[in-house]
Amino acid sequence: MLDGMGMRRFVAALAVPLVTVAPLAACDPGSSSEPDGEPTPSSAPESCGEDYLEDLDDRDRLAQLLMVGVRGSEDAITVVREHHIGGVFIGGWTDVSFLDDGPIGAMQAASRIPVMVAIDEEGGRVSRVAGLFGAIPSARESARTMSPHEVRALGRERGEQLAGLGITVDFAPVVDVSEQPDGGVIGDRSYSDDPQTVTEYATAFAAGLDEAGVLPVIKHFPGHGRASGDSHSGLATTPPLESLREDEFLPYEQMIGTLPLGVMTGHLEVPGLTPAGEPASLSPQVIDVLRSGDGGRWAGHDGVVFTDDLSGMKAITDRHPVPEAVELALAAGNDIALWLTTDEVPEVLDHLQAALNSGDLDAEQINRSVLRVAEAKGLLDCDPSSP
């Protein structure tokens, strides 16, 4: 959960001012207005969270939990204006002109609620803005050649560059603990095979992003670094749960609660935790471990939880079409379901609305996720666990 300063920094990074959502964010429980602006008696909601939810119909609540990859400015503006989605993702396929001065602001202006704008800017081989600002070292190279203080400054500098473009979320740093060769699926994206080194350097980079007003998202829970296989090409399997507790969980245990963070779940089967063949990203058991801090062993995460890509990775697509995968992800307790194209948005929203109407999606859980997302955007300063 973002603290007050973190929320102010996050809102400052948005391409349009917060006043664009004034009709939604009026947290005064004593008054309300009809669409024509005339004051009317209020139902006196007990919290600004309830007031916020009352201004969103079911479809708009669900749309706030979607983040989709966009091809460029026209694609982004259309999906935001027509479907009110909560976030867009800038990938390697996105037209770089979307990062010019203007397009992200135009997209924000098309939405009554500020839109999360996310990118996976890790450094090394995973970089979307190296062509604009120059390359930065991979995580492993950073740990080999730089101090944590220098990595924090690097994260702040890159974060300031991202924020200047209107980007508000970075799917970085990677906190997977791995000794894979540099070119492995995680490889040099990991700081080290030592959990303490990973924690120290990942905390530094994340703190730099936070100082720049960009929300860092650590990944890939519960840990991809020692998994057998690559979730891009099929379901990968981690070491057993007890082994994860000794290594992969340690960065989460030590980082959660120390600064504003999101967490991304991976498409990973976990012996001793997930049913056979079920990815962690779709598993209520895995989300419960993250929220509860592994049953109270460490501070639970009550910030936003994102899925990894649900449309371009065979660990998911071999088993579920996108609408079904999104439903399962939200039902499991993820707050934001991520996939790569806008084409499926109408079908996904139709599917989710039917699932909500039938009770397959829990309305209270959806409301909690909507409020977590709103708080991460800086729109609310209230407890999303008690809508």
Give catalytic residue positions: 232, 308
Amino acid at site 270: V
Give the long-range contacts of residues 175-178, CB within 8 A, separation 24 or more.
175/199, 175/202, 175/218, 175/219, 175/251, 175/252, 175/255, 176/219, 176/220, 176/223, 176/224, 176/225, 176/248, 177/223, 177/225, 177/226, 177/247, 177/248, 177/250, 177/251, 178/224, 178/225, 178/226
Amino acid at site 247: D
> Is the four-CA dihedral 160, 161, 165, 169 of positive or negative sign?
negative
Going by DSSP bridges, is the β-strand pair 262-265/236-237 parallel, antiparallel, or unpaired? Answer: unpaired
d(CA 241, CA 226): 12
d(CA 356, CA 362): 7
Going by DSSP bridges, is the β-strand pair 87-90/116-119 parallel, antiparallel, or unpaired? Answer: parallel
Amino acid at site 139: A
216 and 210 Cβ atoms separated by less than 8 Å:
yes
